[in-house]
Amino acid sequence: MKIKNQDFLKKENRSLVLEIILNQGPISRAEIAKQTSMSPTSASRIVASLQENKLIREMNMSSEGIGRKATYFIPNEHSVFSIGVEIDQKVIRIGLMNFIGKLTILKYFDYQSIDPVATVQFIADHILQMIDDENLTSDQIAGVCIGLPGLIENDKGEVKLSAQFDWKNIPLQEMVEEKVGFTVFVDNELKLKALAEYISDPEPKKAYMAMIGFGSGVGSALIKKGEIYRGEGNFSGEIGHTIVDPYGIYCPCGNFGCLQTYIAEKFLLDEASKTKEIENIQALIIEYENGEKWARNIVDKAITYAAITINNVVCVYNPDSVVLAGSLIERFPQIKDQIIEKCENQMWAPVMKTFQLRTTKTGEDGVVIGAAMIVLQHFIKNIHEKSGV
């Protein structure tokens, strides 16, 4: 048992040293030893092994006052790459991220994901083409993470239900791994976007950050001290399927009167079609701004329910900050402003000043960024498996 514990500590220490260099480099061996409470010998041995595996590299810097050059270490940004993928209703986004967390490539493809088999083939083809175009080897790829809306069992990589695509019990991880040959993760897109928002925000980190998405669906996600709060089965945050009217509109999840049936784009367009043929949300917003009474009724109701959603999330999670995202927020500033104003008027008084409310900074790239970051996080925690360090 003692040997197992020692092995575990060694692996933990390797990950810790790598994380310190990634976050704080350039940094010296002495500073690493000091921060980790390791002996200089242990710290040097780990640094040497990371350098041997080309995960880090030396950087010479002059020491102040004495003219000697001290050796510092920084991550080797070209040593490891991760791939993030977002499957949206009418677009697929694929991004390549280097070892220091920078997206070096981001591609958009107009694609309607209906058949999961065809979607997997499409994604796999473009991933492999991207790797080939960049002259990368398979050893440089830490893995792939795919984000999409719905109930996702992330530990199994299975899509239990995605109402947006009408997918049920799809073993997406297994299907993609078979095509690309890399480790694949699958997760809820809003959780990934929330993680990207939290990590990318230069402002001081808060203990709890909630994200709420309004677009093709309605959902929320909570980041708890830098980690995604998942709940049992990774279903935490599915506020769009809370029932607000048991006698309401049918939802593809099988219930009636789910919250998302009052806010999500599909249902807004279905409601609009009862009066006029409307192709997209942009056309509905134009009718709304032109003062059409039927359009105002639909959009005003959606704004009211969006404000109620924010209030409910704050009351349930009690976060330090709330970030609003999704197409209704990111593409239509006028609607975003009205949601925020309505929210301020309807917010429960005791929680009014307990949180910061803002809109997304990562925008439409957030899911891909978060997906690629998840892969890098997993790699850092398990570097002994990938590199033999």
Per-residue pLDDT tens digits for 1-59: 344 455 545 667 889 999 999 989 899 999 999 998 888 889 899 999 999 999 999 98
Q: What is the pLDDT of residue 129?
A: 97
How is the chain split into domains, by residue range? Answer: 2-75, 81-193+366-384, 202-360
Cβ-count burial 347-385 (b if 16+ within 10 Å, e if not): beeeeeeebeeebbebebbbbbbbbbbbbbbbbbbebee
Fold of the domain built from segment(s) 2-75: Arc Repressor Mutant, subunit A (1.10.10)
Residue ranges of the chain whose pLDDT lies below 50: 1-4, 8, 386-389
Distance of CA 9 to the CA centre of its chain: 29
Fold of the domain built from segment(s) 81-193+366-384: Nucleotidyltransferase; domain 5 (3.30.420)
Q: What is the pLDDT of residue 251?
A: 87
**Does 2-75 match 81-193+366-384 in CATH topology?**
no
Q: What is the pLDDT of residue 382?
A: 86
CA 98, 103, 104, 107 dihedral sign is positive
Q: What is the pLDDT of residue 65?
A: 54
Distance CA 44, CA 9 (A): 16
Separation in Å, CA 23 to CA 17, 28, 67, 74: 10, 13, 27, 9
Q: What is the pLDDT of residue 137?
A: 94
Q: Write the CATH number of the domain with boundaries 202-360.
A: 3.30.420.40
Per-residue pLDDT tens digits for 44-76: 999 999 999 999 999 876 555 555 667 899 999
